[in-house]
Each structure stands twice: as C-alpha cells, then as structure tokens.
C-alpha cells in the first residue's frame, strides 16, 4: 500500500508523545464525537503500485484508440512534438504552485509571459490572460467583459459550437443578461437577420470563425456592422487556424477567445484543455484570471510578476467579475512550447495542411455522392449530407479503425482533417465508403 508518508510509525509515535497523545485518533478529540466515523471507509484497502498500474492499464485498454480520426468539433488530433511532451513534464513546472512569490518563481512567470506574448502574436491582440478552464467558459467570461449598464444583450449566431452557447446561457441565467439568437444562411451569419437584431442595447456580437460547421465568416464585414451599432465583436476561434488565417485584430475584432487544445494538448476525452482570452489594450482591466507582467527588481533587473491582481477574487471578493482561481497553467505552458516548436512556419503548415486535406477529402466525398451542406468557403472542417445514414457511415468506418466525423443529424456529418490525416488513409476511407454505398 502506498501512502507516500515519510515518517515511520516509530517517528509518528515520538511526535505524538511529544504532543501528549497516544494514538492518532486522539488528535480528533475536540470534534463532536458523534461525527467521528465508527467504521472504515467502504473502499478497498490500499494497493501496491504494481497492482494499481495493472488496474488502470486494464481500464485504458477497454477504450478504443482509433488509428485515423476524422472527428473535430473543437477537439482535434494533431501531432504533439516529443520535445513538448518531454519538457512539459518537468517536475519543477508540474509540481509548482501559482507563482505568487515572484522571486522564487521567475521561470514559471516568464513562461506565462511568453504564453501571453505568443497568443497575442497569433491573435494580433494587445493583452492575453494566463488561461481559463476551456473555450466554452472563455466565451462565458467574455460576456462580463462587454456588458454595460445599458447594454445587456449578447448576439449569438446559431453556427457557434452548441456547447459553447449552452455554457454562455448557463453562466448568465440569473444575471439580467439576454442572449439573442442570430440566424445563419448557407452556414454563415445571416447579415440581414443580424442587422435586424442589433441595437444600441447590444453589448456584443459573438462569432465563431471558422465556425462550428467549418465555414469561413466575413469577419471584417461583421466587425463594421457590429461597431456601427456600438457593439463589440468577439471572435471564438481555433488558434491553430490562425497560423494561416488573418488575425482577429486585423479584422477589427475586439476580443478573441477560444479553445486552444489543438496546440499540443492531447484530446484527453475532454480535459484538461485550455481556454484562452485576448483583447485590445483598453479592455485589460476587464479580463478575468491571472496575468503576468514585466517589471524590474530593486536592482533594476528585468523580472516578471503576477499583476493587476486587483481584478481578481482574492481582492475583490463578491465584486469580482469572475471567481476563477486555479486556471490551466500547465496546459498554457504546453501550448507555448508547442508554438515555439512549430514556429511561425510550422503553425502555417499545420493549418494549411489541415485545410488542404479537408478539401481533398471533401472533393472525394462529393464524387461518391455526398453533398456539401453549405455553399460557403470552409477551412479544415465541413458538413456533408450523405446518401446513407450517418450511423451506417460511423459503423463501417469504425470497422477499419477510423473515427468518422461527428453526426449532426440522421444524414449530416461534420468532418475534420488535420495535418496528421494521411492521403492514404483518406483514400482508404473513400474505398470503404464506396463498398458500403454499393
């Protein structure tokens, strides 16, 4: 049995005696005695490392690890460089606490500063926080950044990831904030419907680009429209795509947020992930969560510290806009390492290749009789309407160890390709589907 105690029973006895106790139980004599559990916890006794590892391996082996993964919807299978896996496991990073003691934690603080800087580079923004839980909660937190006394409406198109929208609604359900749906046409925001719903009470328009269906939005146009009504534009995005696509800031976006799992973090069955939040300089004091800043020490040497803490819960308490304390620091470090490993050229390649594979695959599917649901340009994801039910597609591809795209309805599938999707695997999938369709 592992308990990771250092002190032996003998040492414990010596310490107890020094305190005037005979047994460990006596340490609890101040507690109301009827609260003391009179039986052991109804769990198995502790086990050796050998046995525990066996148990966990057995559980892991019951899960199916697909060789080819064509499912995305915000969680993607990309290549994770070995240097990232290795370095992000260093015990000094993994077992460290939040770097409140700056002098002892310059390494961690600098790594946060570098993460913030890298994310600002790809989004074009001036400021970025040290992370929040995931993309969906980043969207929910961004609402608090844009709300004003007389602007309490948030416009949300129907082509944003449904889980993201749902979290936004859950977070604001008791807060006198209205979430207004905006219709979509051909997979992208319906401009006429948008204009009919914007008003001077609109705090912001949220968009996802590339959106949930993989389609590309005309962000610059949407920025102009939103701003003309005095509303901000918030873009939810997959940061991997920003290696190739125009940065949010260049398109006039005020706040860029999203899920950064594609940047070096495994799919992990849903977590831990990485919510990022970046914004223009004027919004810095409305960003939630920790932020690392550059300063100097008493000798004028460059140093880093957590700063602008007066925004946070430990100072503002009930006046804080967010209760966030623990964030996703280690995942931010991982993403930062990933961005350094691939560099600007590599990130461009990852994005570009993902896009090219998706287009190749889409073309092949169309030849087989699938239809592209939306007549709009797309990036690395796309929706098909199939000649057979999605469940048939899923099952037949499962048999060749391929995870098919996400079924959106009986005949609709959302496909995703990444730089790891080999042409030969796409061709294999096409052959298989050809068999199934005949």
Name residues contacting other proteins, limited to 238-267 (CB under 8 A).
242-247, 250, 259, 266-267
CB of 87 to other proteins, least distance (A): 5
Instruction: Measure the CA–CA gap between 320 and 126, rounded to whole angstroms.
Output: 22
Does residue 5 interact with other proteins by CB under 8 A?
A: yes
Stretch that binds other proteins, among 170-178, 184-192, 195-203, 226-234 (CB under 8 A): 170-178
Q: 269 or 438, CB closer to other proteins?
A: 269
Q: Write out the two tokens for 196.
A: 């009919």
Among residues 183, 186, 178, which one has the least CA distance to residue 204?
178
178, β-bridge pairs: 153
Q: 104 or 366, CB closer to other proteins?
A: 104
Give the interface size with other proteins as a residue count (CB under 8 A).
Answer: 199
Question: Per-residue x/- marks for other proteins, 312-331, CB under 8 A?
Answer: xxxxxxxxx-xxxxxxxxxx
Interface with other proteins (CB under 8 A), residue from 228, 294, 409, 431? 294
* Residues contacting residue 282 through CB under 8 Å, at least 6 positions apart: none
Interface with other proteins (CB under 8 A), residue from 150, 270, 435, 438? 270
Beta carbons of 362 and 70 less than 8 angstroms apart:
no
Q: Write out the two tokens for 264.
A: 């070096």
At 234, is the secondary structure helix, strand, or coil? strand
Does residue 147 interact with other proteins by CB under 8 A?
A: no
Interface with other proteins (CB under 8 A), residue from 192, 226, 228, 291? 291
Q: At what angle do helices 329-368 and 106-123 cross, to 10 degrees?
A: 30
Question: Per-residue x/- marks for other proteins, 349-378, CB under 8 A?
Answer: xx-xx-xxx-xx----------------x-
Q: Write out the two tokens for 18.
A: 């020094």
CB of 311 to other proteins, least distance (A): 8
Q: Write out the two tokens for 308.
A: 């602008």
CB of 360 to other proteins, least distance (A): 4
* Residues contacting residue 245 through CB under 8 Å, at least 6 positions apart: 209, 210, 216, 351, 379
CB of 399 to other proteins, least distance (A): 12
Cβ atoms within 10 A of the Cβ of 408, count? 18
Cβ atoms within 10 A of the Cβ of 29, count? 9
Q: 303 or 400, CB closer to other proteins?
A: 303
Q: Write out the two tokens for 120.
A: 């600002």
Does residue 277 interact with other proteins by CB under 8 A?
A: no
Does residue 18 interact with other proteins by CB under 8 A?
A: yes
Question: Per-residue x/- marks for other proteins, 374-403, CB under 8 A?
Answer: ---x-x--------------x---x----x
Alpha helices in 124-231 (DSSP H): 135-146, 162-172, 191-197, 219-228
Interface with other proteins (CB under 8 A), residue from 152, 158, 163, 185? 163
Instruction: Measure the CA–CA gap between 200 and 178, rounded to whole angstroms.
Output: 14
Interface with other proteins (CB under 8 A), residue from 22, 35, 435, 438? 35
Instruction: Measure the CA–CA gap between 67 and 82, rounded to whole angstroms.
Output: 19
CB of 200 to other proteins, least distance (A): 17
Does residue 435 interact with other proteins by CB under 8 A?
A: no
Among residues 65, 72, 140, which one has the least CA distance to residue 322?
140
Interface with other proteins (CB under 8 A), residue from 22, 174, 435, 438? 174
Q: 229 or 244, CB closer to other proteins?
A: 244
Q: 11 or 410, CB closer to other proteins?
A: 11
- Dihedral Cα 271, 139, 304, 99, nearest 10 deg: -40
Q: 180 or 320, CB closer to other proteins?
A: 320
Name residues contacting other proteins, limited to 62-121 (CB under 8 A).
62-66, 69, 71, 73-75, 77, 79, 81, 83, 87, 89-99, 101-108, 110-114, 116-118, 120-121
234, β-bridge pairs: 206, 255
Interface with other proteins (CB under 8 A), residue from 282, 297, 366, 431? 297
Q: How far is CA 209 from CA 140, 246, 247, 255, in A?
A: 17, 11, 11, 13
Stretch that binds other proteins, among 146-154, 188-196, 307-315, 367-375 (CB under 8 A): 307-315
Beta carbons of 260 and 239 less than 8 angstroms apart:
yes
Does residue 183 interact with other proteins by CB under 8 A?
A: no
Question: Per-residue x/- marks for other proteins, 191-230, CB under 8 A?
Answer: -------------------------x-x-x----------
Interface with other proteins (CB under 8 A), residue from 22, 60, 149, 435? 60
Instruction: Measure the CA–CA gap between 32 and 36, rounded to whole angstroms.
Output: 7
């Amino acid at each position: 049995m592992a308990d990771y105690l250092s002190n032996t029973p003998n040492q414990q006895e010596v310490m107890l005696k020094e305190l005037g106790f005979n047994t460990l139980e006596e340490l609890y004599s101040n507690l109301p005695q009827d609260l003391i559990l009179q039986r052991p916890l109804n769990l198995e006794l502790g086990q050796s490392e050998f046995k525990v590892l066996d148990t966990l391996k057995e559980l892991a082996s019951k899960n199916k690890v697909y060789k080819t993964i064509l499912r995305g919807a915000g969680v993607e299978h990309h290549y994770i460089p070995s240097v990232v896996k290795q370095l992000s496991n260093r015990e000094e990073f993994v077992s460290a606490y939040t770097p409140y003691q700056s002098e002892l934690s310059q390494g961690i603080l600098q790594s946060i500063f570098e993460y913030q800087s890298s994310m600002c580079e790809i989004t074009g923004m001036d400021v970025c926080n040290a992370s929040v839980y995931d993309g969906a909660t980043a969207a929910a937190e961004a609402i608090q950044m844009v709300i004003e006394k007389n602007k309490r409406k948030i416009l949300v198109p129907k082509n944003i990831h449904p889980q993201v929208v749902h979290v936004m609604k859950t977070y604001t359900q008791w807060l006198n904030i209205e979430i207004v749906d905006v219709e979509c046409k051909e997979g992208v925001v319906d401009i006429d419907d948008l204009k009919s719903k914007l008003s001077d009470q609109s705090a912001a328009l949220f968009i996802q680009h590339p959106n949930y269906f993989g389609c590309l939005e005309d962000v610059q146009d949407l920025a102009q429209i939103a701003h003309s009504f005095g509303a901000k534009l918030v873009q939810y995005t997959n940061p991997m795509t920003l290696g190739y696509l125009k940065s949010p800031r260049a398109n006039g976006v005020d706040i860029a947020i999203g899920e950064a799992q594609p940047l070096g973090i495994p799919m992990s069955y849903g977590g831990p992930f990485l919510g990022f939040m970046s914004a223009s300089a004027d919004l810095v004091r409305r960003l939630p969560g920790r932020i690392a800043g550059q300063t100097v020490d008493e000798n004028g040497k460059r140093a880093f510290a957590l700063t602008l803490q007066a925004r946070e819960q430990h100072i503002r308490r009930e006046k804080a806009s967010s209760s966030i304390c623990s964030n996703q620091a280690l995942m931010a470090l991982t993403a930062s390492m990933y961005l350094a490993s691939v560099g600007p050229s590599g990130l461009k390649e990852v994005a570009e290749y993902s896009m090219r594979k998706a287009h190749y695959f889409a073309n092949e599917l169309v030849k087989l009789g699938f239809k592209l649901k939306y007549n709009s340009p797309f990036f690395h994801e796309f929706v098909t309407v199939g000649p057979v039910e999605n469940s048939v597609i899923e099952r037949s591809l499962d048999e060749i160890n391929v995870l098919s795209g996400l079924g959106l309805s009986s005949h609709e599938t959302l496909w995703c390709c990444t730089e790891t999707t080999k042409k030969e695997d796409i061709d294999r999938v096409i052959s298989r589907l050809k068999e199934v369709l005949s």
